[in-house]
C-alpha cells in the first residue's frame, strides 16, 4: 500500500470536545406523523353528518380507513426518501423500523378499506359481494388502476415479512420496494375520484395534492437527483484494494472535493461500483477511516457475492456513493467516557470513532481468532497516540458477560457504549451491558440488517 493512503492517527490534544446534542427530532417526528393522522380523521369527521344502519357504519369505517391508508402511503414514502434531517438525527435503523411498522399498518388499513367499502356498498345496493366488487373495479373512475396498486402493495407487504425476507438477497429486497412507488402512483387517482371527502371539496383536494407532491419531491431529490449530482461532483474511483484479515479488504477511493461529502466518523454510504456484476446494486458499507482531502476508505468482509467481489476491484473503477447516512456519530454520546465495543468487521465505524471521539475512550474488539482482528496496527497506533485503552478478545478467551466487561472497563455504568457487530454478538453484549448497569439510553447501535 502506498504511503499516501496510510492513515495518520490524530493525537488526543487535537480532538475537539463538542457538547453532546440533545436531539428532539426522534421524539418530535412521531408526534408530527400522529398529528397528521388526527388531521385526516378530522377531515372525515367534518364531512360526516350522520351514520345510519349497518351499511352506513360499514361505509363510514371504509371511508375512514381509506383516508388513513392514503395518508399512511405518503408517510411510508417519506420514510423511504432518505431525508438527511431525519436520517442523521433519527438513525437509519430506527427509520427502517418505523417504515416496517407503518408498512404493516398501511397494508392492514388498505385491506380493511377494501373489505368495508365493498361490504357497505353491497348492503346499500342489495347486491352480492362479488357483483359489487366487479361493479366497483370495472365502472368506478380510476378504481381499476387503484386495484392494481392495492395488489402491488399487499404483495410487497407479504414479501417483506420476516420469513420471506430471509429467503431473498438484499438486492432483491431493495428493488422490490420500488414497486411501492408504482403502487402508490396507481392508487392515488381513485382517492380523489371516488373519495366522498374529496369530491367537491377543493381545499381537501389541494391539501392532498400538496402532501403527495411534497413527498414526491423529497423522493426524487434525495433518492435520485441528489446522488446523481454528488456522483458527478465527486467523481469517485477505486484507488487500491488492501487485504486486512482473512476475507476482509479495505477499498481506498479517491475523488474530488471529498471534504464536501460531509461524512462524519461512524456514518456509512451506499456504494455502487461500476464494474461487471456489481453496477446494478448499491450496498451499505461504513467508512473505516476519517475522510481525508484526497481519499476515503471502506473495509468490507466477504459475506456474499457482492462483498466478496470487492477484493477483485481494479484501480480506476468508477464508484457512485449515496449518503452519508446514519446517526452512529459523536452526537449520540451523553458523557465524557465512551466504550467502543466491536465484533468482526463491525470494527469499521468504530475505528473512525476511536480516532476522533474526545474524552476517555476505551475500545474492546472481539473476533473469532487472533488473525481475524482487522486494522489492528492502526488501532494500536491510535491508542498510543491518544493514550487510550484497547482490548482484543478472541472467542476462545472469554465470553461477553457483565463480569468480563466490568473487569476490562472500570466504572462501566458511567460510559456511553457504541456497539457494532454481528447480531448474535450484539444481543449478548446488550444483555451483558444491561446486567452491568449501563442504561439502555447509553447503548448506541445501528444495524444494516434488512
CATH number of the domain that residue 417 is part of: 3.40.50.80
Domain boundary among 229, 258, 280: 229
pLDDT in tens, 332-371: 888 889 999 999 889 999 999 999 998 899 999 999 888 8
Residue with cell 420514510: 79
Q: In what order do the strands lie in the sheet with 337-343?
A: 389-394, 360-367, 337-343, 416-420, 443-445
172: left (phi over 0), alpha (psi -120 to 50) or beta: alpha
> CA dihedral in degrees (74, 80, 82, 85; nearest 10)?
50
Domain boundary among 325, 353, 385: 325
Looking at the fold, whether 75 and 163 belong to one and the same domain comes out as: yes
- Residue 418 DSSP SS3: strand
Residue 304: what pLDDT?
A: 75
Q: Which three cell numbers stand for residue 342?
A: 466491536
Burial class (CB in 10 A: 0-12, 13-18, 19+), 110: buried
Looking at the fold, whether 321 and 334 belong to one and the same domain comes out as: no
pLDDT in tens, 82-103: 888 888 888 888 888 888 899 8
Bigger pLDDT: 450 vs 277: 277
Closest to 47 in 3D by CA, of 66, 33, 60, 65: 60
Give the integer Cα–Cα distance in Å for 80 and 70: 16
Judge whether 210 lies within some domain.
yes
Residue with cell 472469554: 398
Task: Using the predicted structure, report yes or no on whether residue 9 has a pLDDT greater than 70.
Answer: no
Looking at the fold, whether 288 and 197 belong to one and the same domain comes out as: no
Looking at the fold, whether 105 and 35 belong to one and the same domain comes out as: yes
Task: Using the predicted structure, report yes or no on whether residue 450 has a pLDDT greater than 70.
Answer: no
Q: Which three cell numbers stand for residue 345?
A: 468487521
Q: At what angle do helices 25-46 and 53-80 cross, to 10 degrees?
A: 150
Evaluate whether 420 touches 347 at the Cβ level (below 8 Å).
Answer: yes
Residue 181: what pLDDT?
A: 87
Task: Using the predicted structure, report yes or no on whether residue 397 has a pLDDT greater than 60.
Answer: no
pLDDT in tens, 261-317: 889 999 999 999 999 888 888 888 999 999 998 999 999 998 777 788 899 999 999
Residue with cell 440488517: 449
Strand bridging mode 337-343 / 360-367? parallel
Bigger pLDDT: 168 vs 333: 333
Residues of the domain holding 364: 330-445
Judge whether 15 lies within some domain.
no
Long-range contacts of 441-444 (CB under 8 A, 24+ apart): 441/334, 442/334, 442/335, 442/415, 442/416, 442/417, 443/417, 443/419, 444/328, 444/332, 444/333, 444/416, 444/417, 444/418, 444/419
Give the integer Cα–Cα distance in Å for 142 and 268: 42
Task: Using the predicted structure, report yes or no on whether residue 185 has a pLDDT greater than 60.
Answer: yes
Task: Using the predicted structure, report yes or no on whether residue 398 has a pLDDT greater than 50.
Answer: yes
Domain boundary among 201, 229, 257: 229
Judge whether 36 lies within some domain.
yes
Evaluate whether 420 touches 343 at the Cβ level (below 8 Å).
Answer: yes
Burial class (CB in 10 A: 0-12, 13-18, 19+), 145: middle
Residue 27 pLDDT grade (very low, low, confident, very high; cuts 50, 70, 90): confident
Looking at the fold, whether 194 and 258 belong to one and the same domain comes out as: no
In 200-295 the beta strands, taken as DSSP E runs, fall at 236-245, 248-254, 268-273, 283-286
Looking at the fold, whether 222 and 277 belong to one and the same domain comes out as: no
Looking at the fold, whether 371 and 288 belong to one and the same domain comes out as: no
Evaluate whether 415 touches 438 at the Cβ level (below 8 Å).
Answer: yes
Judge whether 297 lies within some domain.
yes
Residue 118 pLDDT grade (very low, low, confident, very high; cuts 50, 70, 90): very high
Task: Using the predicted structure, report yes or no on whether residue 2 has a pLDDT greater than 70.
Answer: no
Say how many CA atoms lie within 13 Å of 6 toward its Cβ.
Answer: 7
Residue 8 pLDDT grade (very low, low, confident, very high; cuts 50, 70, 90): low
Looking at the fold, whether 216 and 83 belong to one and the same domain comes out as: yes
Residue 169: what pLDDT?
A: 65
Looking at the fold, whether 179 and 250 belong to one and the same domain comes out as: no
Judge whether 11 lies within some domain.
no
Evaluate whether 270 touches 322 at the Cβ level (below 8 Å).
Answer: yes
Looking at the fold, whether 69 and 93 belong to one and the same domain comes out as: yes
Residue 116 pLDDT grade (very low, low, confident, very high; cuts 50, 70, 90): very high
266: left (phi over 0), alpha (psi -120 to 50) or beta: left
Residue 4 pLDDT grade (very low, low, confident, very high; cuts 50, 70, 90): low
Looking at the fold, whether 180 and 225 belong to one and the same domain comes out as: yes
Task: Using the predicted structure, report yes or no on whether residue 11 has a pLDDT greater than 70.
Answer: no
Looking at the fold, whether 371 and 321 belong to one and the same domain comes out as: no
Judge whether 251 lies within some domain.
yes
Bridge partner residues of 249 (DSSP): 243, 300
Judge whether 12 lies within some domain.
no
The number of domains in the chain is: 3
265: CATH: 2.40.30.10
Bridge partner residues of 241 (DSSP): 251
Average pLDDT over residues 192-214: 90
Average pLDDT over residues 432-436: 93
**Triad 250, 83, 21: Cα angle to 5°:** 80
Judge whether 17 lies within some domain.
no
Phi and psi, residue 359, nearest 5°: 90, -165
Amino acid at each position: 500500500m502506498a504511503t499516501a493512503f496510510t492513515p495518520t492517527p490524530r493525537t488526543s490534544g487535537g480532538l475537539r470536545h463538542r457538547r453532546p446534542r440533545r436531539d428532539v427530532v426522534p421524539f418530535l417526528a412521531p408526534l408530527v406523523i400522529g398529528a397528521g393522522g388526527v388531521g385526516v380523521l378530522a377531515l372525515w369527521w367534518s364531512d360526516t353528518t350522520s351514520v345510519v344502519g349497518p351499511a352506513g357504519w360499514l361505509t363510514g369505517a371504509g371511508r375512514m380507513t381509506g383516508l388513513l391508508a392514503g395518508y399512511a402511503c405518503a408517510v411510508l414514502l417519506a420514510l423511504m426518501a432518505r431525508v438527511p434531517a431525519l436520517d442523521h438525527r433519527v438513525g437509519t435503523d430506527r427509520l427502517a423500523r418505523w417504515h416496517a411498522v407503518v408498512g404493516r399498518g398501511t397494508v392492514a388499513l388498505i385491506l380493511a378499506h377494501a373489505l368495508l367499502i365493498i361490504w357497505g356498498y353491497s348492503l346499500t345496493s342489495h347486491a352480492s359481494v362479488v357483483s359489487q366488487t366487479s361493479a366497483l373495479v370495472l365502472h368506478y373512475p380510476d378504481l381499476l388502476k387503484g386495484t392494481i396498486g392495492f395488489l402491488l402493495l399487499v404483495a410487497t407487504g407479504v414479501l417483506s415479512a420476516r420469513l420471506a425476507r430471509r429467503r431473498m438477497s438484499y438486492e432483491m429486497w431493495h428493488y422490490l420496494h420500488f414497486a411501492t412507488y408504482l403502487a402508490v402512483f396507481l392508487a392515488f387517482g381513485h382517492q380523489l375520484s371516488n373519495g366522498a371527502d374529496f369530491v367537491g371539496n377543493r381545499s381537501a383536494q389541494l391539501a392532498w395534492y400538496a402532501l403527495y407532491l411534497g413527498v414526491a419531491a423529497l423522493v426524487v431529490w434525495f433518492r435520485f437527483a441528489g446522488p446523481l449530482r454528488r456522483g458527478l461532483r465527486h467523481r469517485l474511483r477505486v484507488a487500491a484494494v488492501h487485504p486486512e484479515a482473512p476475507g476482509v479488504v479495505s477499498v481506498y477511493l479517491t475523488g474530488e472535493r471529498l471534504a464536501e461529502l460531509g461524512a462524519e466518523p461512524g456514518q456509512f454510504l451506499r456504494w455502487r461500483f461500476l464494474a461487471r456484476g456489481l453496477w446494478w446494486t448499491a450496498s451499505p458499507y461504513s467508512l473505516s477511516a476519517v475522510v481525508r482531502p484526497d481519499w476515503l476508505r471502506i473495509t468490507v468482509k466477504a459475506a456474499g457475492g457482492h462483498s466478496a467481489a470487492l477484493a477483485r476491484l481494479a484501480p480506476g473503477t468508477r464508484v457512485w456513493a449515496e449518503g452519508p447516512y446514519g446517526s452512529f456519530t459523536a452526537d449520540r454520546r451523553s458523557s465524557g467516557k465512551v466504550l467502543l465495543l466491536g465484533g468482526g468487521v463491525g470494527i469499521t465505524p468504530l475505528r473512525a470513532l476511536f480516532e476522533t471521539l474526545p474524552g476517555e475512550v476505551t475500545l474492546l474488539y472481539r473476533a473469532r481468532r487472533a488473525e481475524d482482528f482487522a486494522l489492528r496496527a492502526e488501532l494500536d497506533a491510535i491508542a498510543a497516540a491518544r493514550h487510550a485503552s484497547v482490548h482484543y478478545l478472541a472467542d476462545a478467551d472469554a465470553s461477553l458477560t457483565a463480569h468480563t466487561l466490568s473487569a476490562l472497563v472500570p466504572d462501566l455504568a458511567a460510559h456511553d457504549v457504541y456497539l457494532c457487530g454481528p447480531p448474535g454478538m450484539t444481543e449478548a453484549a446488550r444483555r451483558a451491558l444491561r446486567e452491568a448497569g449501563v442504561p439502555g439510553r447509553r447503548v448506541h447501535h445501528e444495524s444494516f440488517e434488512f
